[in-house]
Amino acid sequence: MSIHWNSNADQILAQMVANTAAAVDEICRDFSGKPVDEVRPALAARWAASNEGAAITEPDLTNIATYISEGIRVWVEPDGRIMADD
């Protein structure tokens, strides 16, 4: 068995990160200050929609939803790391 790396993998991954960043930005804009119970399902849905159905898992889902609910800025770095202000 041999493994073949997709020659466009870097571009595909960069697009996935950009899609995720846009989804997180939208959720922050639309749901900042709203209850976690409203943020969580919206974040899960937009995350999946931006990532070909891939789910955001716990505890990240709840942690990020909590930050957004508390009005804490959340963003996605170009390398895909999810960050939040202290």
Distance CA 48, CA 57 (A): 11
Highest mean pLDDT among 32-36, 54-58, 82-86: 32-36
Arithmetic mean of pLDDT, 54-65:
95
Distance CA 64, CA 75 (A): 10
Q: What is the model's pTM?
A: 0.85
pLDDT tens per residue across span 22-31: 999 999 999 9
β-strand pairing of 74-76 with 82-84? antiparallel
SS3 of 10, please? helix
